[in-house]
A and B are shown apart, each in its own frame.
Chain A
Amino acid sequence: MTSSRRDFLKIAGASALTMMTPAIFVPAWAKDVIVIPPGQGLALKKALAAGRWAMTVDLTKCTADCTDCIAACHAIHNVPDFGNPKDEIKWIWKESFASVFPGEQNAYSGEKLQKLRPPVFCNNCENPPCVRVCPTGATFQRPDGIVMMDYHRCIGCRLCMAACPYGARSMNYRDPRPCIAKINPDFPTRSKGVVEKCNFCEERLAKGTLPACVEACRQKALTFGDAENPRSEIRRLLKTRFSLQRRVHLGTGPQIYYLL
């Protein structure tokens, strides 16, 4: 069969016209039936909110051998214990004063400083390098300052681990579930190939409770609050006490303040 130029133009024109048919003529089988009902733009009523969440750690109250905050955090968040320091997963851990604050010590620093074991967390930075390098958007910053992990999107590339100057991120090199002592059903576990870190207990804030570490600390060394609210307890502490932030010269804007 041969078709003339005229026939070809006729068919092409008719095809183009069908594209202009209004959507109501679309047959039922071609319609998109998935409509998720609207009206879902709500947070839980009792949720705690802030302009910028921050935490202070009172090093005059924190005792070197106490690990209550770590135990509470790791139990609540299903943090696995692989029993191997190479694969260690940590949301909170303790380090010597010298490694938490390199350069803040001198040869004559007293025993008091040397004996300190400050707890270290994800700093939930104001300018987080991990967010900048994450290729999938799995790590992002919420408007209230919390640097969140969307585990669903994490591909395990570990760029965030390389970018974080605090070593606050850990990778699950194995399936973590068998290595969790007691699973807390209210918080998901992670899967193999996913990075995790402290989330400032955003899931607890959403339900109106303070972070687990703050609640667990018997010395009341941890204070959590809104750094943008001038009347908050944390602002009062920062106004009256001398504070240090970790590696603040890097420009990350860490939101954990250590009171001395």
Chain B
Amino acid sequence: MKYIGILIMAASLIAAGFTAANGLKDRMELLFLFYRMILNMKGQILYSNDTLPQAMKKIGEDYAKDRTGISKEIPEFFLRIVSRLEKEPGNPLPGIWKAETERISERLPLAEADTNALLALGENLGCADRETQERTFLFYLKQTEDTMEGLKEDMERKGRLYRCLGMSAGLLLMIVLA
């Protein structure tokens, strides 16, 4: 019985290490998904001259297909904004965007910097000329590229570290308690 308990505790520590490493991977996946969707939205707006609800609906629906789990949250974020714009016509887009960004940031493994970048993007959507609109998108995309670059390094460095720490702590616990 004692050995079973020790094994469970060691396995928990190892799993914690892997979970921490996976958290970085999930964040990377989410940021990459945001990056792709905003890039597509920029194309829809600048090439097809779509309005924001049109572009968000199209991209949201396209990306929601065949997605499950947390990666489905992001297309649904876009679709929720579109739905609220239809139901609350007097409510300005930046306000709805802010509320929905805060909502997903509580549910997804996003860092504060990721949330702030999304909030800044929302503040400048819709009310400017096409040139400013393009610059707003480009600024967000550049910012996200830099974050992903840093995160990639972190994943290589910290990911391995978290896994090793988890395994070492698990083994140490086994040795000490056994």
Mutual binders A and B:
no
